[in-house]
Amino acid sequence: MQITLEGKRALVTGGNTGIGRAITRSLVEAGAKVAINYLTHPETASMLLDETTERGGTAISIQADVSDPTSVAAMFRKLDETWGGIDLLVNNAGIDGVRSATWESEVADWRKVLEVNLFGAYYCAREALRRMVPQKGGVVMNITSVHEEIAWSGYSAYTASKAALGMLTKNIAQEGAPYGIRAVAVAPGAVESDINRSVWSDPKGKQDLLDKIPLRRLGSPEEIASLVVVLLSDQASYLTGRTVYIDGGMTDFPDFTHGG
């Protein structure tokens, strides 16, 4: 069995850091040409570009704010100019927002999370699909979270955005199927990256997190990226409209190891 993305034109949003960076690296390794989208930290994007070139891969970086449809449209125009379109979209950019009980949250904070995580994915998918439908092929992948399914006190905007992204995946899968387009969501659990550094760098916070994971460890960005490559490849050609959880068993309700 050969897993390859040779010659595919890919865009990874938030592709310069965390899980996004690992996805960028794995896509390059699998032979894809990768557009690394970033909003801040341009130095991380240029380091990744240099690294890709050194390894004989092909990549470009594009600064764009996924929560702004005008910025997204400009990013896709750049993709058109550079590679004449797109085959693989990975909607990875996301934020978890300000922690606060729903009744204490600020509307602007709540809205921002939805604008990045949900509207951002929608804006990018909309542009990508406008190119994938006429070419009759492509994959839209949305990186969601275990919090597509698990409630998380203090993060109602985040959980709502991820649950909605799961359904957006299903809808795109249904609409895209007649055109040979697949849509898949990948839902990571606790993965060691910057987004949750404050939790895993604190021993008490880390232990609390580990207690929620049957495999008793955090995931690595590379483990998520490996699954992403497989699911984007033709080896997963019959998979569409579903979320694949990769969480060390977090959604397997470890509290039920005892009792019940």
Q: Which residues bind ligand BGC (CB under 6 A)?
A: 96, 145-147, 189-190, 195-196, 199
Closer residue to ligand BGC (CB): 210 or 239: 210
Work out the angle between the directed axes of helices 69-83 and 120-135 (0-180°, nearest 10): 30
Closer residue to ligand BGC (CB): 12 or 190: 190
CB of 171 to ligand BGC, least distance (A): 22
Q: Please say whether the beta carbons of 10 and 82 come within 8 A.
A: no
Closer residue to ligand BGC (CB): 36 or 146: 146
Which helix (DSSP H) or strand (DSSP E) does residue 112 occupy?
helix 107-114
**Is beta strand 181-188 parallel, antiparallel or unpaired with respect to 242-246?**
parallel
CB of 247 to ligand BGC, least distance (A): 8
CB of 136 to ligand BGC, least distance (A): 34
CB of 148 to ligand BGC, least distance (A): 9
**Residue 242 β-bridge partners:** 184
Catalytically annotated residue among 38, 158, 179, 238: 158
Of residues 85, 69, 106, 73, the one with CA closest to residue 33: 85
Of residues 244, 191, 236, 198, the one with CA closest to residue 218: 191
CB of 212 to ligand BGC, least distance (A): 7
Is 158 considered catalytic here? Answer: yes
Closer residue to ligand BGC (CB): 85 or 154: 154
Q: Please say whether the beta carbons of 101 and 153 come within 8 A.
A: yes
Work out the angle between the directed axes of helices 18-29 and 221-232 (0-180°, nearest 10): 50
Residue 94 backbone class (left: φ over 0; alpha: ψ -120 to 50; beta: rest): beta
Closer residue to ligand BGC (CB): 138 or 189: 189
10 Å Cβ neighbour count for 101? Answer: 10
Of residues 79, 80, 84, the one with CA closest to residue 36: 79
Question: Which residues are identified as catalytic?
Answer: 158
